[in-house]
Each structure stands twice: as C-alpha cells, then as structure tokens.
Structure 1
Amino acid sequence: MSSFALAYERFGEPGEVLQKVPIQPERTLKNSQVLVKYIASPINPADINTIQGVYPLKPASFPAIGGNEGVAEVLRIGPNVKSIQVGDKVIPAPAATGTWTTHRVLTEKDFIVLDKNVDPLFAAQITVNPGTAYRMLQDFVKLQEGDSVIQNGGNSAVGVYAIQLAKLWNIKTINVIRDRPDVDELRQYLKSLGADYVLTEEEIRKKEVMDEILSKVGKPKLALNCVGGQCATDCVRHLADGGTMVTYGGMSKKPVVLPTGSFIFKDHRFVGFWMTRWSKANQTSPKRIKMLSELSQLNSEKKLIIPKTIQVKLDDYKEVFETIQKGFSNSKYVFTFE
C-alpha cells in the first residue's frame, strides 16, 4: 500500500516548507485503532495560517501533516472498535489530526461516521465552513422568517453557505463583496444561490442604495464579519438597534473599528466565533451530530451545494499554493486521493 502525506518540519509559507513524503501506517491495528483512506481534504485559509505559524492552532510536534478536515473511508478496524465498520465514510472529530494524507491511523473516538450517500466533496469540508455558517445563524440571534442578515465576505466559503441556509430558513441576506473585474458574474452567481442583495464595498457606503434596500427588508438583526477594517464598520452602521455582529475572521488584517454610538445609543452586541473552539467543546455532542446530519441531508437533497471546487492532487501542491497566494479566487481547492 503506497502512502504519502504533505508534511512540514518548520513554520513558513506552504509552498516552501511542505514536502510530499512517504508514510508507513501500522500494519496491525491495536484495540480501538482505525485505518482510513482519505478521499478528499480541502485547503482552508486556517490550514495555511497554521503552517505559517500565525494561527492559534499549532501542531503537537514536528514533522506535522497539514490539513484539518477531510473525508475518508474505513479500511480496517482494531479488535475493540464498536461504533465504526469497514466501509464507513468518516470525518475526523478533533482538529489538527493531519488530513493531507492518503492514509491515517487514529482511534475510534477520533472519527465521526457520516451517511455513506453524502457527496464526498461536501463531506470533506462539512465541519468548518458550513458548520460555521450554521452555528452563526442559529446561536447568536433568534431570527424569524422575514428577518435580514448582513455579511461581508459574501463570496467566501462560509458566506456561500450562509446565503443558502438563510434562503432555506426564509431569512433575507445583504451580502458585501470586494470589487473585481468579474464582479457582475460573481453577483449573479451569489444571487443564483439565494442572495437577495449583493453589493460591493463601495456601494454599501452609498446612502441612497442602502436606504432603498433597508426599506424593503428592514435593518438586519445580525451581521457576520470576516473582513474587519472599514468594511466591518460600514456593516455595523446598518445594524438594527439591539443587533449583534459576529466576527469570525479578519481577511483585511485590519482591526474592527466600532462607532461609540453603537454601544451607547444602539445597544449593539459584538462577539467572536471560532468554529474550532466550538467543535472542541462539542466534539461528539448531540448538538454537533444533529448539525452534521442536517447539513448532510440538505446536501443529499441538493438544497445545499458546495462552493466552486477545484480538485487537485498532492503532487501539484506547489502550483496550488502559488495560485491561492495571488488571491481573488472564487473557488475552493480540494486535495483528492482517488
């Protein structure tokens, strides 16, 4: 059995420090060990930041295998394994187990079994992006049908899932994106997924534009922020009194600057959300299993589709990271091992 992984022995840029290396999974499994063969593993911004050494999640030791999520098929199980069977489709329960690899041996408690019929490319990225969108729409504000949400990074992977889930739950979305050469094409793509309004960062600053939109959907009770900087401030200006902004990213690498009036006169609430922390606290909780089951079901029913995805091989990792570094990509890159 030929087994390979993308591993690194020091922090740095992925294209420079990652190496494709052979690995030797254990031939004889002990007790609750499980041998899996990975099918697909996505490349998330957090994965890149982890390798760079600037993310709160750090590898336990070096050399470390890259990747935090993915979907695998169970090949063999140890003698004491009870809840997993050969042929099951599984995802890692904890983060930082190393998923950019053809094979992996972990313990039974390190995996969650998914429906075998779920799309592998969706299953590979179910824990981070759709999970983040689901939790932020569910956990911070009690949204009713007809309410509205404003978000920046509307074309991000989380943004795409937030648009679809909000549409399914009859919640209106105002989505902010950066201007770009293909902005009209991107605008139509997001609307095809269920976005009600798609605005550039310049358009959201135009009073006449926002007055017209808010007259139709009302001021949003919830704002989702993954950009920071001026764009976050602009979103706050349109938040309803008593509304909440959830910050889950900082792609602009600029601080979130908030108007004093938001605290004094508008009673706005500002909170952060990190899916990794939530998943660690709810690793195998009924709440997490219910969420994963519901997301899987929506995907199986074609009601929740993955963002534009480009499948790549481990051998092509240098070219992939060079492309990602250039930015303005509307696609999710996923390592596939078939």
Structure 2
Amino acid sequence: MHRAAGWVLRGVRNPPKTRSRSGTARSPPRGLVYGRHGEPPAVVQLKDLEVAKLGGSDVHVKMLAAPINPADINMIQGTWRTRGVFPEEMLLKVPRDIPVLCAATLSVNPCTAFRMLTDFESLAPGDSIIQNAANSGVGQAVIQIAKASGIKTINVVRDRPDLPKLVERLMALGADHVITEEMLRKPEMKDLFKSIPKPRLALNCVGGKSTTEMLRHLQPKGTMVTYGGMAKQPVMVPVSAFIFRDVRLRGFWMTQWRKDHAQDPAGLASMMDSLCQLIRRGQLTAPACTEVPLQDYQAALEAAMKPFISSKQILLL
C-alpha cells in the first residue's frame, strides 16, 4: 500500500487513549491508500490503519491537515513504466536523431533552464547570470544554453570531497566560473567582477543563506527567480535590496508554465525545436547520468536520495 505525502502534523510523546473522557471508543486511525496505479478517485480508498507500537524514542503523531500536491497525483497515476496509452494531443514528437538520454531528460530540466533564461530578463551576449545548485540537471542545462547564447555564468555549488572534479566537469560544459557557497561571502568576489559584469539574473534552487548571499551580487533592477528550495529554508531578502537596488523576486514552475500555455502548442513546439537544435549541434547534452536497468530500480532510488550526487539516475525501460 502507498500513502500520499505532504502532511501537517502534531507530535505527542504518549499514545492517545483508546477511549475518550465520555467513555466512548475513539475511531481507529484511517488513511488514504492505494494498491494499484490509476486515476486517484478510482484507486484511492479510505481504510482503517494499524499504528505501530511505540518504542523508546518514538513519537505518536496525529495528522491535522494534508495538501494534495500535483506530485502526489502523478505518483498515484503511475510513473516509470514501459508502456502507456495517452491522448494524442498530450504528446509531442521527439526527433529520431536525438540521443535517447537527451530525449529522456528533455521535457523538464532543459525546458526549465530555457524558460528561466528567456522569460525574465532580456539577456544579450556578454551579460552574466548567477545560479546555485549549478551541478543539478537544471544547472547543467543553464550552463550549456547560456554558453550557446554568449551569456556568462557564475555557478555556485556546495563544498564537497570531490570539488575539483566537479569544477572540471562544469567548466567542460561551458561554465565561466564555479565557486562554492562559502566563496560567495568572501571579499574576493570583487575580483571576479573585474572580468565579468555583475549578473542581471539569479537562479535559485536552494534558499536560505545561499540565496541571500547570491542576491548581494545581483545588478540593480536585476531579477532572482526561485524554482526550488533544496535547503528547506526560506528566502531571506534584506530590505535594502528592495529600496536601494530595486531587485525583483519571481518564481517559476515548469508544470504551471505548461498549464498557462496549454492553448499555445506552437510555443511549446518552438521551445522544443530550439532545444533539439542545440542537441544536434552538440551544444546541449544530457546531464551526467547513471543508466540503471529497470529491475535494479531500488539501487537507483537509493542513489537518487544520497547527498552530493551529481549523476541523474536513468531507468532503462
């Protein structure tokens, strides 16, 4: 059985009594579960659940509220399958000459990178952008698409044991500068901007201190676009950034862009064509990938959840 995530919860150290003060038995815990994939109204059922006995450090949690997120719906509907039947209008053809790993990773990360580089600032050759999580799938696509357009990139990554190897790989993709989050806070950043203009666009996938420090280097009237929150910390912006530099904060979600442009198939086709042309010219490659046979899915899932993993797990169906 599977349960959708995204709970707002309350924890208590002692298990609730089985009876209320009035003496009437409390209803057993219940949950929405599904045993097969399909459309949620058809496969999700409300059932009584068993609650595990408390151990020494366990906390009995009473759930108060839970959102239904798009990701929850997608998981119930089914993912990572070898075959499926879809309405023709939902599909977009991918040219046969596009490598399979590029095709498999095309619809999310490169599209996100393309839209963020296109929709928020009118960037020209010689302009620069700054991004954190630069080793992510989106980050790697940003580097390559920007390079093809003559846009300089300042790429922020977390410090790690294999940092020199990661820097080398991102530079090979076309990165102009690769720095750590710690370097963002150092006075030496001034030297970097002697050879490259301050960025007009910042792309944030982390949040927390990384975002605050990255924002300090943005040009006046520049834009920061947030598309993720890996640090699970809020975006903190000094008041001075608004008053004295008039920076703009925006958000982006590729799923919402598709919904907003559902009546503009030509716009989606044009973007995909631009990306496919970059792939054909060797200017856009798939992110660093680890190819895993479908039957080894458990190893792929475990690897995908490990920290400091720059390789995207690709299930070969």
Same structural fold, with TM-score higher than 0.5 when normalized by the shorter chain: yes
Paired position in structure 1 for 2:55: none
Residue by residue, what CA displacement relative to the aligned partner does 1:27-57 show, whole Å, maximum 9, x if unpaired? xxxxxxxxxxxxxxxxxxxxxxxxxx98831
CA distance in 2 between counterparts of 1:9 and 1:201 reads 37
Q: Which amino acid in structure 2 is aligned with residue 251 of structure 1?
A: M
Cα 1:262/1:311, change in 2 over 3 Å: same
Task: Say which one has the larger Rg.
Answer: 2
Asked if 1:113 is matched to 2:93, the reply is yes
Cα 1:230/1:63, change in 2 over 3 Å: closer
Whether the aligned pair in 2 keeps the contact of 1:122 and 1:306 (CA below 8 Å) is yes
Select 1:202's aligned residue among 182, 195, 214: 182
Identity of aligned residues (%): 42
Structure 1: unaligned runs, 5 residues or longer: 1-7, 14-18, 24-52, 67-99
CA distance in 2 between counterparts of 1:22 and 1:164 reads 37
Whether the aligned pair in 2 keeps the contact of 1:10 and 1:62 (CA below 8 Å) is no
Superposition deviation, residue 147 in structure 1:
0.6
- Matched residues, number: 262
CA distance in 1 between counterparts of 2:288 and 2:36 reads 29
CA distance in 1 between counterparts of 2:301 and 2:175 reads 30
Superposition deviation, residue 313 in structure 1:
2.2
Superposition deviation, residue 324 in structure 1:
2.0
Paired position in structure 2 for 1:322: 302
Q: Which amino acid in structure 1 is aligned with residue 203 of structure 2?
A: L
Select 2:210's aligned residue among 231, 249, 259: 231
Asked if 1:220 is matched to 2:185, the reply is no
Whether the aligned pair in 2 keeps the contact of 1:220 and 1:243 (CA below 8 Å) is yes
Paired position in structure 1 for 2:78: 65
Whether the aligned pair in 2 keeps the contact of 1:223 and 1:244 (CA below 8 Å) is yes
Q: Which amino acid in structure 2 is aligned with residue 227 of structure 1?
A: V
Q: Which has the higher contact order (CA 8 A, sep 6+)?
A: 1
Paired position in structure 2 for 1:277: 256
Q: Which has the higher strand share?
A: 1
- 1:251-266 equivalences in 2 (<5 Å): 251-266=230-245
Select 2:284's aligned residue among 280, 304, 326: 304
Structure 2: unaligned runs, 5 residues or longer: 7-33, 39-65
Cα 1:126/1:211, change in 2 over 3 Å: same
C-alpha RMSD over aligned residues: 2.3
Asked if 1:101 is matched to 2:101, the reply is no
SS in 2 for 1:144: coil
Whether the aligned pair in 1 keeps the contact of 2:304 and 2:312 (CA below 8 Å) is no
CA distance in 2 between counterparts of 1:286 and 1:118 reads 20
CA distance in 1 between counterparts of 2:205 and 2:4 reads 24
CA distance in 2 between counterparts of 1:285 and 1:244 reads 27
